[in-house]
Amino acid sequence: MSITARPQPTLPSARLRRPVPAQIARRIADTPALWRPLVRFDAHSRFATRLPATADDHEVWLLTWLPGQGTAWHDHGGSAGAFATVQGVLTEQHATPARDDEPARVVPGARRLVAGGVRPFGPRHVHQVVNADALPAVSVHVYAPSLTEMTEYTRHGSLLHSSGSQLAGVNW
């Protein structure tokens, strides 16, 4: 009796298996049962809660924004991501990433992100997001890999200078 080895199926490369944050954000945004029960608004600061983990290669956060609430200028510590506005309108300004000895530079203009829209970004993205509208806003954020650190920036004219870091498990 002869035994013939069967060819083993090949697995897709790791590149093909990486999560696509925009697709995940859209899927979760389109499933209100996953996030709607978690919506809370806080008059003093943005409310944020991490959705229960469903994968090791990304994380999902729900954020709520009353009028006037926003973030400082920040990056995502090398994580790529996307956010979906699921209620209201958010306004984003972004900057070119810092390079060598050059600081990040604010890109003129702002982007309005209305309910139903998804904003993907790469691992070097620097931005500031605010609810500049008159009504509350809600958004779903996906980061891949999960956030470990975020650098905050201080704006000086059109330039952004690093002003410190926040670490997962320490500052949030």
Q: Could you give the count of Cα atoms lying within 13 Å of 140 in the half-sphere of its Cβ?
A: 29
Q: pTM of the predicted model, to two decimals?
A: 0.86
In a domain, 125, yes or no: yes
In a domain, 12, yes or no: no
pLDDT of amino acid 99? 87
Structural domains in the chain (count):
1
- Which range of residues forms the domain containing residue 51? 18-167
156 annotated to bind ligand: no
44 annotated to bind ligand: no
The Cα 145–Cα 148 span in angstroms is 9
The Cα 145–Cα 142 span in angstroms is 9
In a domain, 1, yes or no: no
In a domain, 6, yes or no: no
Q: Strands, E, within 34-158: which ranges?
A: 47-50, 59-65, 73-74, 80-87, 89-96, 104-106, 111-114, 118-121, 126-130, 137-144, 149-156
pLDDT of amino acid 132? 98
pLDDT of amino acid 54? 67
In a domain, 3, yes or no: no
Alpha helices in the chain (DSSP H): 14-17, 21-29
76 annotated to bind ligand: yes
- Mean pLDDT per segment of 10 residues, for the chain of length 172 residues? 39 54 97 97 96 86 98 96 98 93 94 98 97 98 95 96 88 76
pLDDT of amino acid 20? 94
In a domain, 2, yes or no: no
The Cα 172–Cα 165 span in angstroms is 11
CA proximity to 46, closest of 104, 111, 128, 113: 128
Tokens representing 80? 């790529």
In a domain, 113, yes or no: yes
The Cα 147–Cα 83 span in angstroms is 14
In a domain, 44, yes or no: yes
CATH number, domain with residue 91: 2.60.120.10
